[in-house]
Structure 1
Amino acid sequence: MNLLVEKIKNAALNMGYEKCGIIKISDMSGYEEKLNERIQRIPEVKPYYEGFYRFARLQDTYPWAKSIVICVRQYGKYHIPDHLKGLIGKYYLVDSRRDENSEDFQDSLKFEAYLQEIGLKTAAERKFGITAFRWAALKAGLGLVRRNNFFYTESGSWVHLEAWLIDKELESVEKPTLKECPKNCNLCIKSCPTASLSEPYTMNRLSCISCLTTFEGWDLPNEKFNSQMGSWVFGCDACQDVCPMNKGSWRAAEEFPGLTELSEHISLEKILEMDYTFLEKVMQPKFWYIGKDDVWRWKTNAINAMVNDYKEQYGEYIRCASNDSNEKVREMAQWAIGKLNL
């Protein structure tokens, strides 16, 4: 093994990453074909995916880049408060991409600093990524993509991917030993509440609950899938929770910083009672897919969840929300009152 490659991989493992691989920039070219296939299957998503072509054409933006260091980090090691399961997607509860208090975030900074210390020029993007992570990890042989579109290692799909562009042509590719999905298994497809996951390796983001609770779903009273959204207010774990390849892979051995304390403030009722200062200063930095100007969406999502699994105690909270300072929340509450005959 090239000495520089060995240094990089050892550093990654020493800083808590489960796996580390290195691929050539040219290995991303095949991603464009996969992107074309996705758009052909679901043409209506084309406007959302057109920006992804840059992931296959990295040297247009980074002409100096020659390789990609791709790392896998397990997040299925944290304790998740029981009352948040089915309410908020687990990944978002332990998302370290912008959480400076987390060890994962600090290790990411340290690893990038190390790459630079050994003479490499680097580029990274911690929010949504500098390239197509799953494709890069697949090309590096770090695991495989299963029928629910998620990337799996021996730790299941409860893993986070990170990548850095570097200016040296290096390569370190493994041979994955994971078994493929059972031939007749379609549990993930059957479990998708909105049929967004309509066939293997195919997902329509316009009907995905994780998108409907964050990037889409702006008009929930008229949303086609509002009832199928169930109790989810941010994200969705349905297709991962049901996957046999995830059985026993979550090991809640550690506490994610601040999660237990924050969880005490979160329930459907408490979301409706949250003032907008708390939503903007506490909830938004943690769950940053919803912007500061749109934190009212927490309340509309919560009302929708209350309607879908109505309990008598929800009535007073919904009626109170009909006087909320935000027009969208008032409209949602009035819709719920009419639908539930409150």
Structure 2
Amino acid sequence: MNTIEQMIQKKAYELGYEKCGIIPINKLSGYKEKLEERIKKVPESAQFYQTQQRLANPLEEYPWAKSVVVMTVPYGKYKIPEVVKDHVAKAYLFDVRIDANTEEYQHNRAMEKYMQDLGLQVVTNQKFGVVGMRWAALQAGLGIIRRNNFLYTQSGSWVHIEAWLIDREIELKETMDVPQCPKGCNRCMSACPTKSLSAPYTMTPTACISFLTTFGGRNLPQQPLSKNFGNCIYGCDICQDVCPMNKGKWKEVEEFPGLAELSSELTPENILNMDEDFYREKVQPKFFYLSPEELWKWKIDVLCYMRNNYKESYKTYIINSSNNENEKIREMADFIRKELNL
């Protein structure tokens, strides 16, 4: 007869999860130490990592928790629309955390119900997690963390991690079957445009393009790193794309629900012309790191992209943005016009 941990893992495999491990909650204790190590290496990251402190001790909010169930689900099977390729990071394009139209979201809900039906008390946070996700996955044997700080499984780094706290102390670790980083490889660090990734397993999060183009970067005209954003508009995949351990891992064999239709609206020109209602109804629910009131941030990121990849057809868009009703957009447009003498 299967144990409860074996039943959970078997159900996960049936639903299409790639890996499923379960660890007692005390196995998470090293996460706080890692946070402190990060802050010691990069003191300016202290405020950023302060928001992660809640993940270091989940017992403060969930004193009944005994174990963590952690799973990975690959997303490297989806077709990337050409108009958003290299502009919007893949993890955001294929974000299944709150998109009820995806089978991954439905599997998440089915997995939680299954554990509840087994008599377990269960909690998760689909958007932001209830534990340090990569650390929990590492402890559960799901994969390894490479020098670019991402968790890698046999699917490369193109995996979402899901985790639940449960009120039963059980353990069932996966067998880790992923090779280490090639000796002496520093491609991810060499390729990082802002040098946020400055050493193995070390980064300055507030200098990361993904941070600066999503919930950070609120004053891009005064941000010198913005000149290094290249093609990025929302998020960045550069350190993952150059990684040799990701070679051949992306397959592009399936359509992601609704993405082909939405992507045509996410060209730089269409974002600058986008109205608030369309953004709130169609875009923000998918890209939730920016609020329903923050279309202006998308538009500033696009203006930054147009500055960094300037061509004559962008001139009118930049000039017209100088008359935008939003002060932040006007400020960015005026800054670019002065810089490019438009």
Q: Say yes or no: TM over 0.5.
A: yes
Aligned to 2:145: 145
Aligned to 2:48: 48
Q: Does 1:206 align with 2:234?
A: no
Deviation at 1:55, TM superposition (A): 2.0
The separation in 2 between residues aligned to 1:80 and 1:235, in whole angstroms, is: 15
Aligned to 1:112: 112
SS in 2 for 1:206: helix
Aligned to 2:243: 243
Contact 1:39 1:45 in 2 (8 A): yes
Matches within 5 A, 1:1-342: 3-342=3-342
SS in 2 for 1:178: coil
Deviates more, 1:286-295 or 1:236-245: 286-295
The separation in 1 between residues aligned to 2:207 and 2:117, in whole angstroms, is: 45
Deviation at 1:306, TM superposition (A): 0.3
Deviation at 1:334, TM superposition (A): 1.2
Deviation at 1:128, TM superposition (A): 0.7
Contact 2:48 2:206 in 1 (8 A): no
Contact 2:151 2:157 in 1 (8 A): yes
Instruction: Report the TM-score when normalising by structure 2.
Output: 0.98
Contact 2:99 2:105 in 1 (8 A): yes
Deviates more, 1:322-331 or 1:151-160: 322-331
Q: Which amino acid aligns with 1:145?
A: I
Contact 1:67 1:168 in 2 (8 A): yes
Deviation at 1:200, TM superposition (A): 0.5
Aligned alpha-carbon RMSD (Å): 1.1
The separation in 1 between residues aligned to 2:56 and 2:213, in whole angstroms, is: 28
The separation in 1 between residues aligned to 2:21 and 2:41, in whole angstroms, is: 31
1:80-134: CA deviation from partner (whole Å, max 9, x where unpaired) = 1122111100110010111111111111011100000011110100011010010
Deviation at 1:135, TM superposition (A): 0.4
Deviation at 1:76, TM superposition (A): 0.7
Deviation at 1:315, TM superposition (A): 0.5
Q: Which amino acid aligns with 2:11?
A: A
The separation in 1 between residues aligned to 2:330 and 2:193, in whole angstroms, is: 27
SS in 2 for 1:250: coil
The separation in 1 between residues aligned to 2:57 and 2:319, in whole angstroms, is: 52
Deviates more, 1:131-140 or 1:277-286: 277-286
SS in 2 for 1:313: helix
Deviates more, 1:259-268 or 1:317-326: 317-326
The separation in 1 between residues aligned to 2:196 and 2:155, in whole angstroms, is: 25
Deviation at 1:2, TM superposition (A): 5.6
Identity %: 51
The separation in 2 between residues aligned to 1:146 and 1:298, in whole angstroms, is: 30
The separation in 1 between residues aligned to 2:70 and 2:166, in whole angstroms, is: 11
Deviation at 1:50, TM superposition (A): 2.2
Q: Which amino acid aligns with 1:303?
A: L
1:51–1:212 Cα change, 3 Å: closer
Deviation at 1:264, TM superposition (A): 1.2
The separation in 1 between residues aligned to 2:333 and 2:275, in whole angstroms, is: 16
Contact 1:269 1:317 in 2 (8 A): yes
Q: Which amino acid aligns with 2:134?
A: R
The separation in 2 between residues aligned to 1:201 and 1:173, in whole angstroms, is: 24
Specify every segment of 5 or more residues in structure 1 that has no aligned partner in the other structure, as ranges: none
The separation in 1 between residues aligned to 2:240 and 2:137, in whole angstroms, is: 19
SS in 2 for 1:172: coil
Deviation at 1:270, TM superposition (A): 1.1
Q: Which amino acid aligns with 1:51?
A: T
The separation in 1 between residues aligned to 2:58 and 2:217, in whole angstroms, is: 32
Deviation at 1:60, TM superposition (A): 2.0
Deviates more, 1:305-314 or 1:55-64: 55-64
The separation in 1 between residues aligned to 2:174 and 2:105, in whole angstroms, is: 26
Contact 1:31 1:56 in 2 (8 A): yes
Contact 2:20 2:174 in 1 (8 A): no
Deviation at 1:283, TM superposition (A): 1.3
Deviation at 1:196, TM superposition (A): 0.1
1:236-283: CA deviation from partner (whole Å, max 9, x where unpaired) = 000000000000001111111000000111111111111122222221
The separation in 2 between residues aligned to 1:90 and 1:174, in whole angstroms, is: 26
SS in 2 for 1:11: helix
SS in 2 for 1:256: coil
Q: Which amino acid aligns with 1:44?
A: E
The separation in 2 between residues aligned to 1:130 and 1:29, in whole angstroms, is: 14
